[in-house]
């Protein structure tokens, strides 16, 4: 199963941002947040990533942040992070994320959704992260 890319919304230092509509959550395939970096040394910056998850389903549903892969995620054994998002117009902010627990081998983040989840998700990254 190919995960759907969740694009990043860059926060602006000393500036403002119009609240984006978000990306429709892909409950069937899950989603992946790629974290490009120009840092030296190169590495993931999940610790500067925040997710805004909006649930439009008629009942509370879970978003699942998947444990990462070695060697980056040497604490992946702690397991996934499951966050319940309230029903109908519920919104939860999730993150920032521990690189040593959630980074995939390419530095990205994988997300899954409970069956029946509908809504949007937006990935915000802090300035200086990419």
pLDDT, one tens digit per residue, over 84-98 is 999 998 899 999 999
User: Given this model, what pLDDT does residue 74 score?
Assistant: 93
User: Given this model, what pLDDT does residue 41 score?
Assistant: 57
Q: What is the pTM of this model?
A: 0.90
pLDDT, one tens digit per residue, over 17-55 is 888 999 999 999 999 999 876 555 555 588 889 999 999
Question: Which percentage of the chain shows pLDDT scores above 90?
Answer: 68
Q: Please report which confidence band the pLDDT of residue 67 belongs to, taking 50, 70 and 90 as the band edges.
A: very high
- Residue ranges per structural domain of the chain: 4-11+26-125
* Strand locations in 1-130 (E): 4-5, 8-10, 23-24, 31-33, 49-55, 61-65, 81-85, 90-94, 109-113, 119-125
Is the sign of the CA dihedral 118, 19, 32, 3 positive or negative?
Answer: positive
Q: Under 8 Å CB-to-CB from 84, ≥6 apart: which residues?
A: 60, 61, 62, 92
Indicate if the pLDDT at residue 99 is higher than 80: yes
Interatomic CA distance for residues 96 and 106, integer angstroms: 18
Which residues are paired to 10 by β-bridges?
Answer: 125
Number of H helices, E strands in the chain: 1, 10
């Amino acid at each position: 199963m190919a995960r759907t890319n969740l694009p990043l919304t860059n926060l602006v230092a000393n500036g403002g941002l119009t609240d984006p509509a978000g990306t429709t959550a892909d409950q069937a395939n899950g989603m992946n947040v790629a974290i490009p970096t120009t840092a030296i040394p190169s590495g993931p910056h999940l610790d500067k990533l925040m997710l805004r998850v909006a649930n439009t389903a008629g009942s509370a549903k879970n978003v699942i942040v998947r444990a990462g892969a070695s060697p980056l995620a040497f604490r992946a054994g702690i397991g996934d992070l499951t966050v319940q998002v309230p029903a109908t117009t519920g919104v939860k902010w999730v993150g920032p994320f521990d690189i040593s627990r959630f980074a995939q081998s390419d530095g990205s983040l994988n997300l899954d959704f409970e069956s029946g989840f509908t809504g949007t998700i937006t990935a915000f990254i802090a300035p200086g992260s990419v």
